[in-house]
Amino acid sequence: MSTMDYLMGGFATALTWYNLLFAFSGVVLGTAVGVLPGIGPMSGVALLIPVTAVLTSGLGLGAEAAATSSIILLSGVYYGAMYGGSTTSILLNTPGESSSVVTALDGYQMARQGRAGSALSISAIGSFVAGIITLLGLILVAEPLSELALKFGYSEYFSLMVLGLCAVSGLAGKSMVKALMMTTLGLLLATVGVDQSGSFRFTFGSPILADGIQFLTLAVGLFAVGEVFKTILEEDTSEIKLAKINSLYPSKTELKQSTGPILRGSFLGFFIGILPGAGATLASFFSYIMEKKISKTPERFGQGAIEGVAGPESANNAAAGGAMIPLLTLGIPGSGTTAVLMGALIMYNVQPGPLLFTDHPQVAWGLIASMFVGNVMLLILNMPLVRVFAKIISTPPKYLLPIIIAISVFGVYSVQNSIFDLWVLFLSGMIGYFLVKNDYPLAPVLLGLVLGPMMENNMRNALVDSSGDWMVFITRPLSGVLLLISAAWILIPLILKMRGKSVLVNEEG
């Protein structure tokens, strides 16, 4: 079958009534998640994993169909949150999530000038165009890249996973040391349970830990429950004042000014998103810097320039789609949210990677087709319903927090009916709060937990094939190159930082 045949099959899957409902629910919930400051796409996706399991079982779907429907809903939450994150940036000068930080620079100034509707509309249009460009790139790149990855052996897969961990650790948080510590913690947690040889590790004689630390419990605890603890302990219940929304649609001049930045941001964001660990935040910053550099009037930036909204918003949405490529084709999550999505797929016994397109074409192509459907839904929803989503921002915490806790407890308990999981849920929530408070990034913990078992399996198999020769990871050319890139990803920022400090010392001296 050709790529077009697979794509048509994907649309047939995505356009079934229940998958349309899942896609619609995902983008609506995702927009709401993006609008609510502090929750973010990673927390939203983690929180809804158990909900998808309940919904798909209620519909009586088969294993393959259940996995497809669940990932369609969760992906909808992911790129829906990218849309929604701009709303708080523009109306409140409070980014809904990190990739919308740059949008606030000019978006909020536009809102103060009475142009909030134009900023929100351009944000929605830019996100839609970026989503379509990313989808086309995904169709063109995904299958050839997965065919290339089929040539990988055990050592190459191990080295590729090392690269994924180094990439996320190298770009997560303010301190690389703290990010590496969190990665190591995730890998340590992944060793709890029964190993390949049937030996018990770090279970302390308890049969409850034989299955290891559950990914879902840890993800929901660290992000969703951690956010609840933050709101309660820091008493973050200040009154919210919204900027007034007048006209909802941009002028012809604003559309003309936005066309170039939207296209440039979309392509830039897509290619940055493909890089493991780069993420939407980096893409939005790069887009803003580029637009300011090429502008004939750079002094307008920071004062309400429409280009400062159009470029970064297109870039962060394109990066979100681009991050799906290494996840689907190589089995390497490029960001914290895609790590959560990978964990969800594994829960449904669907292994992301080069065999995904041959073993589970319904899941792979159904997801790709649903991304187009979801982007159309988002454009239709975001333009006329901007005022409605803006009202969500002012939801009082006394209503919001109990809902989050209820969904978390219900979701985690329903998976294994274990009280122990609830203890882990709240303990990880408390730990997550203190980690974030002290600038320890949480995404590397999840990435280490997800990739740990696969890294161990590939390392064991590579060593079995090489009769215990550790040099196999270096002597095989592709594996050696991947390890070299991994080392460079960590060392180059450290070297540049040290050089910067030495230059500063010399100047002061």
Q: Which pLDDT does position 38 carry in this prediction?
A: 53
Q: Is 506 within a domain?
A: no
Q: Which pLDDT does position 394 carry in this prediction?
A: 58
Q: Which pLDDT does position 197 carry in this prediction?
A: 73
Overall pTM > 0.95: no
Q: Which of 47-61, 135-149, 377-391, 479-493 has the lowest mean pLDDT?
A: 377-391
pLDDT digits (tens, 9 = 90+) for 265-274: 999 888 877 7
Average pLDDT over residues 36-43: 66
- Residue 427 pLDDT level (bands cut at 50, 70, 90): very high
Is a pLDDT exceeding 80 seen at residue 151?
Answer: no
Q: Is 507 within a domain?
A: no
Q: Which pLDDT does position 484 carry in this prediction?
A: 92
Q: Measured between alpha carbons, how far is 45 from 33 in angstroms, rounded to an integer? A: 9
Q: Is 231 within a domain?
A: yes
Residues 450 and 49: beta-carbon distance below 8 Å: no
Q: Measured between alpha carbons, how far is 472 from 155 in angstroms, rounded to an integer? A: 7
The length of the chain in residues reads 509
Residue closest to 39 by CA, chosen among 75, 81, 74, 80? 81
Residue closest to 346 by CA, chosen among 449, 444, 202? 449
pLDDT digits (tens, 9 = 90+) for 80-92: 887 777 776 777 6
Q: Measured between alpha carbons, how far is 33 from 171 in angstroms, rounded to an integer? A: 24
Is a pLDDT exceeding 70 seen at residue 9?
Answer: yes
- Hey, what are 143's tokens? 């299958």
Is a pLDDT exceeding 60 seen at residue 55?
Answer: yes
Average pLDDT over residues 333-344: 78
Average pLDDT over residues 328-332: 79
Mean pLDDT of the chain: 79
Q: Is 116 within a domain?
A: yes
Q: Which pLDDT does position 430 carry in this prediction?
A: 92
Q: Which CA distances in Å does 101 have to 85, 107, 389, 445?
A: 9, 10, 19, 24
Q: Measured between alpha carbons, how far is 145 from 324 in angstroms, rounded to an integer? A: 12
Q: Which of 54-63, 73-82, 380-389, 487-496 has the lowest mean pLDDT?
A: 380-389
pLDDT digits (tens, 9 = 90+) for 278-295: 567 667 877 888 888 888
Kindly tell me the number of DSSP H helices and DSSP E strands found in the chain: 23, 2
Q: Which residues of 312-332 are buried (b: 16+ CB within 10 A; e: fewer)?
A: bbbbbbbbbbbbbbbbbbbbb
Q: Which pLDDT does position 65 carry in this prediction?
A: 85
Q: Which pLDDT does position 264 carry in this prediction?
A: 92
Q: Which of 23-27, 260-264, 384-388, 402-406 has the lowest mean pLDDT?
A: 384-388
Most confident of 6-10, 160-164, 274-278, 332-336: 6-10
Q: Is 505 within a domain?
A: no
For residue 424, count other CB atoms closer than 10 A to its CB.
20
Q: Domain count of the chain?
A: 1
pLDDT digits (tens, 9 = 90+) for 223-235: 778 878 887 887 6
Q: Is 55 within a domain?
A: yes
Residues 30 and 385: beta-carbon distance below 8 Å: no
Of the two residues 176 and 306, the one the predictor is more confident about is 306
Q: Which pLDDT does position 242 carry in this prediction?
A: 53
Is a pLDDT exceeding 70 seen at residue 325?
Answer: yes
Q: Which of 92-106, 122-136, 322-336 has the lowest mean pLDDT?
A: 92-106
For residue 142, the enclosing domain spans 3-499
pLDDT digits (tens, 9 = 90+) for 166-186: 876 655 556 778 888 888 998
Is a pLDDT exceeding 70 seen at residue 243?
Answer: no
Is a pLDDT exceeding 80 seen at residue 33?
Answer: no
Average pLDDT over residues 137-160: 76
Q: Measured between alpha carbons, how far is 192 from 203 in angstroms, rounded to an integer? A: 6
DSSP output for 407-461: HHHHHHHHHH--HHHHHHHHHHHHHHHHHHHTT--SHHHHHHHHHHHHHHHHHHH
Q: Which residues of 55-83 are buried (b: 16+ CB within 10 A; e: fewer)?
A: bbeeeebeebbbbbbbbbbbbbbbbbbbb
Residues 123 and 82: beta-carbon distance below 8 Å: no
Of the two residues 296 and 97, the one the predictor is more confident about is 296
DSSP output for 253-304: HHHHHHHHHHHHHHHHHHHHHHSTTTHHHHHHHHHHHHHHHH-S-GGGTTTT
Q: Measured between alpha carbons, how far is 327 from 297 in angstroms, rounded to an integer? A: 39
Most confident of 175-179, 187-191, 337-341: 187-191
Q: Is 86 within a domain?
A: yes
Q: Between 477-508 and 154-171, two packed helices, what is the crossing angle to 10 degrees?
A: 20
Of the two residues 197 and 492, the one the predictor is more confident about is 492
